[in-house]
């Protein structure tokens, strides 16, 4: 009876800092690694270190860790894989009713917890209809948000505080925030429309003031347009309040 030979498993995992530096340089020159790591050995080194702390092999770490706006984060599939692979997790159940995504999780020795994320939540966060995944795959994005909230809250030790990439992608950058503030500063404040009822209410008073020479239609329009938007029809009606020459003479007499 012959014995089966057990072949050693080949691993690229670096054994020391020197190996890690060489490993990072070697992989950064490859075109098959994710773009965040191409020609960026420092990013690879950080990803490998993060992966070691999370229990991921180097190549797994590079596929699972994304650098977004300079911040390392985990893709959602890697997050749930790490949690389900932990002995601290009893179960993770996800569901979606077409409007709200729910993620139910249970940690060993604790009660079940759940987190939800609805399209109402998406609207309040400015995500509903946002160009990109939120307009193309809203169900998937709801799922990722509910998953992120549940797993990060219940298993922070398993995830070592790492955020989920799908969530980090939605956080506006400093540049985007500055551009938004600049646009808001440039955009003139939109004034409410002047109510026709107020025009009817004030028409006789204005007509009398104009007839007495105490004001004119231009002054009235200037006052109104400082607070309201006036329609062309309303402008015409206000200008028509000026009396004809004979009426003005009789009024002053």
Domain residue spans in the chain? 17-68, 79-170, 196-252
What pLDDT is attached to residue 188?
62
- Sign, CA dihedral 169-173-177-179, equals negative
What pLDDT is attached to residue 178?
52
Which residues of the chain carry a pLDDT beneath 70? 1-13, 173-189, 243-253
What pLDDT is attached to residue 177?
42
Question: For residue 106, what are the β-bridge partners?
Answer: 91
CA distance 162 to 122: 22
* Cβ neighbourhood burial of 114 (10 Å; 0-12, 13-18, 19+): middle
Q: Are strands 113-118 and 89-96 parallel, antiparallel or unpaired?
A: unpaired
CA distance 73 to 166: 9
CB hemisphere CA count around 89 (13 angstroms): 23
Helix (H) / strand (E) element for 100: namely: strand 100-107
Q: Which residue has the tokens 């646009």?
A: 183
The Cβ of residue 73 has, within 10 Å, a number of other Cβ atoms equal to 23
What pLDDT is attached to residue 190?
79
What pLDDT is attached to residue 185?
52
Q: Are strands 65-68 and 89-96 parallel, antiparallel or unpaired?
A: unpaired
Q: Which residue has the tokens 């939120």?
A: 134
What pLDDT is attached to residue 209?
85
């Amino acid at each position: 009876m012959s014995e089966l030979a057990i072949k050693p498993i080949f691993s690229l995992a670096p054994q020391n800092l020197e190996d890690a530096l060489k490993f990072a340089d070697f992989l950064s020159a490859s075109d098959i690694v994710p773009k965040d790591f191409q020609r960026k050995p420092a990013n690879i080194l950080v990803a490998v270190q993060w992966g070691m702390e999370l229990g991921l092999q180097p190549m797994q770490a590079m596929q699972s860790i994304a650098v977004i706006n300079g911040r390392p984060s985990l893709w959602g599939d890697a997050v749930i894989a790490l949690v389900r692979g932990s002995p601290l997790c009893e179960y993770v159940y996800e569901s979606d009713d077409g409007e709200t995504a729910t993620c139910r999780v249970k940690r060993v020795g604790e009660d079940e917890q759940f987190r939800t994320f609805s399209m109402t939540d998406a609207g309040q966060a400015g995500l509903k209809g946002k160009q990109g995944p939120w307009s193309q795959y809203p169900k998937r994005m709801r799922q990722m948000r509910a998953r992120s909230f549940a797993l990060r809250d219940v298993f922070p030790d398993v995830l070592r505080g790492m955020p989920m990439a799908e969530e980090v992608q939605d956080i506006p950058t400093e540049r985007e925030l500055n551009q938004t503030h600049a646009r808001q500063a440039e955009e003139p404040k939109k004034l409410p429309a002047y109510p026709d009822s107020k025009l009817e209410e004030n028409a006789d008073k204005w007509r009398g003031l104009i007839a007495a020479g105490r004001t004119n239609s231009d002054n009235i329009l200037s006052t109104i347009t400082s607070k309201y938007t006036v329609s062309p029809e309303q402008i015409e009606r206000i200008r028509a309040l000026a009396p004809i020459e004979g009426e003005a003479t009789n009024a002053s007499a």
